[in-house]
Amino acid sequence: MEALDRGGGAGREAVARAEALLRRIEALGSEEARAGMARYGIRTDDAFGVSVYELRRIARELGSDHELALALWATGNHEARLLAGMVDDPALVTAEQMDAWAAESGSWDVCDQVTSNLFDKTPLAWEKVDEWSAAGDEWVKRAAFATAAALAAQDKAAADEPFLRILELCRREAGDDRNYVKKAVNWALRNIGKRNLRLHAAAVATAEAILAEAETRAAADRRDPAARSGRWIARDALRELRRESTLERIRRRSP
């Protein structure tokens, strides 16, 4: 495996450990699990069929290891890349690494796991959300909004203002009808709206603005893909954010 030989910048010891882990992961895989992954739209051309729960157990054994993470990612194997995001040290992740991993994720679950296990915990997270949000590459753009969704769910200490800026990005990019992008925009919009009452009101207003813009587009051209994307993003977000159970949870969390 050429990628494994390169090691992604990792040392020889880390590469050897990654190779041993790859054999261990392969032994845990099954064709039944691979078929199940495929049914959910997950790429299985370089996957063994091992659950995220099993990989998390292995990650707990390994602890934090930046060089091992680089070597695991360089294998190109699906499960190894998921594990890489679980064991990497956020403090050691570089901008170049984030750019490369976002572009190379190749599957929605790798993108989402890496953004929520690693990218959102790096010092560069907010900067990359802004930068990637305008990317032409579908995976990089999904990584922007998946990272934003993770920040909204997991960064409890973050102020409201950065999320208000992300809502503007959601509005700006709501017309991108690529499946993995629009779902991530919707995800970020919903997660931000569930943080507190102030952000809930802002997210609802953003969704309403997206819907209004989509309806204007549809009036001019019913087949406009940007109109379809905006409608779906906004309607789905409003349905969840206006649900009484959602509002009750937000009220309990809000000061």
Please, which pLDDT band fits residue 2 given cuts at 50, 70 and 90?
very low
147 CB contacts (<8 Å, ≥6 apart)? 115, 116, 119, 120, 125, 128, 129, 132
- The residue that leads in pLDDT, 12 or 129, is 129
251 CB contacts (<8 Å, ≥6 apart)? 197
**What's the predicted TM-score (pTM) here?**
0.93
pLDDT of residue 99: 98
pLDDT of residue 45: 84
pLDDT of residue 8: 63
- Give one DSSP letter per residue of 228-250, joined into a string: HHHHHHHHHHHHHHT-HHHHHHH
- The residue that leads in pLDDT, 133 or 3, is 133
Please, which pLDDT band fits residue 4 given cuts at 50, 70 and 90?
very low
- Return the number of other C-beta atoms located less than 10 Å from residue 121's C-beta: 19
Please, which pLDDT band fits residue 3 given cuts at 50, 70 and 90?
very low
Average the pLDDT over 82-93 and give the result. 98
pLDDT of residue 40: 87
Please, which pLDDT band fits residue 254 given cuts at 50, 70 and 90?
confident
Whole-angstrom distance, CA of residue 156 vs CA of residue 241: 19
pLDDT of residue 181: 98
Summarised one tens digit per residue, pLDDT across range 226-243 is 999 999 999 999 999 999
Summarised one tens digit per residue, pLDDT across range 118-145 is 999 999 999 999 999 999 999 999 999 9
Percent of the chain with pLDDT over 90: 89
Residue 7 pLDDT > 80: no
Q: Where are the domains of the chain?
A: 1-88, 107-255
Average the pLDDT over 194-213 and give the result. 98
The mean pLDDT value of the chain amounts to 94
Q: Are 137 and 181 in contact (CB under 8 A)?
A: no
Average the pLDDT over 160-179 and give the result. 98
Q: Which helix (H) or strand (E) is 31 found in, with range?
A: helix 31-39
Q: Are 209 and 171 in contact (CB under 8 A)?
A: yes
Residue 191 pLDDT > 60: yes
